[in-house]
């Protein structure tokens, strides 16, 4: 029979295992400049693998990889064009799996940078949103709004982009007419309507 104290200890143990990151030392790796294995001047995943002994020696508990997905690199890889693959300059999915296995073999943990709140304007979903009609599911994944004024000539509000200029861009609809405004707080990485569309 489990006495209350034992149950309490089990819960505490589970909780601390879940929250290992609270007191872990994590080494953030900006992949593009960390280590270049094939000598093309751009960091890559095999470069990280070649430095795992060094990272282990430093005494870190985990490594954190900045976004390594296919990207036009307008925003240092945070403008993700495909969340399901690896940027061609960094390696392949197989090489990424090799890194994950090697990290675990070294007794370390690995954190992958996931960026769900915006995507590249080259992401398939954004291209579909531009081609689709106002009010469609495809458009609802991003922040499209009607402009103000009789013909939508004014932006919906006065938001500014952190990249400079207004946050809103007026698009041309499929019929060739000026259409809705698209809100990009991180142009050219349009903000998604996460979490409402992804929950
Ligand atoms: Ca390289």
Give the distance (Å) from ligand 1 centre to CA of residue 97: 17
Distance of CA 167 to the CA centre of its chain: 20
Q: How far is the CA of 94 from the centre of ligand 1 (A)?
A: 16
Distance between Cα 29 and ligand 1 center (Å): 14
Report how far ligand 1's centroid is from the alpha carbon of 104 (Å).
23
| Confidence (pLDDT) at 64 | 98
Domain boundary among 67, 83, 112: 112
Q: What is the reported pLDDT for 160?
A: 81
CA of 60 to the centre of ligand 1 (A): 24
* pLDDT averaged over 10-residue windows placed end to end, the chain, 199 residues: 56 67 95 98 98 97 98 92 97 98 97 90 90 90 88 86 80 77 59 51
Q: Which residues lie across from 148 on neighbouring strands?
A: 154
CA–CA separation, 110 vs 62, rounded Å? Answer: 5
pLDDT for the residue 169: 84
pTM: 0.79
Token reading at 106: 């070294």
Cα-to-centroid distance, 51 and ligand 1 (Å): 14
Domain identity same for 63 and 134: no
Same domain (yes/no): 27, 97: yes
Is position 174 within any domain?
yes
Give the separation between CA 107 and CA 118, rounded to whole angstroms.
33
Q: Give distance in angstroms: CA of 46 to centre of ligand 1.
A: 8
Structure letter (DSSP) for residue 134: T
Instruction: Report, in this order, helix, strand and coil percent for the chain, each rounded to 5.
Output: 30, 15, 55
Domain end position, chosen among 88, 112, 136 = 112
Distance in Å, CA 92 to ligand 1 centroid: 12
Structural domain range at position 68? 21-112
* Ligand 1 centroid to residue 109 C-alpha, Å: 23
């Amino acid at each position: 029979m489990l006495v209350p104290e034992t149950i309490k200890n089990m819960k505490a143990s589970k909780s601390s295992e879940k929250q290992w990151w609270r007191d872990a030392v994590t080494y953030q790796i900006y992949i593009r400049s960390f280590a270049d294995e094939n000598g093309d001047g751009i960091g890559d995943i095999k470069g990280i693998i070649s430095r795992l002994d060094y990272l282990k020696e430093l005494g870190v508990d985990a490594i954190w990889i900045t976004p390594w997905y296919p990207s036009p690199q307008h925003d240092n890889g945070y403008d993700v064009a495909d969340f399901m693959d690896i940027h061609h300059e960094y390696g392949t999915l197989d090489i990424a799996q090799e890194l994950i296995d090697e990290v675990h073999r070294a007794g370390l943990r690995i954190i992958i940078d996931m960026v769900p709140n915006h995507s590249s304007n080259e992401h398939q979903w954004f291209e579909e949103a531009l081609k689709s009609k106002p009010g469609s599911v495809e458009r609802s994944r991003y922040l499209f709004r009607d402009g103000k004024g009789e013909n939508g000539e004014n932006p919906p509000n006065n938001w500014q982009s952190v990249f400079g200029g207004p946050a809103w861009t007026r698009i041309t609809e499929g019929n060739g007419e000026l259409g809705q405004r698209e809100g990009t707080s991180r142009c050219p990485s349009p903000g998604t309507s996460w979490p409402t569309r992804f929950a």
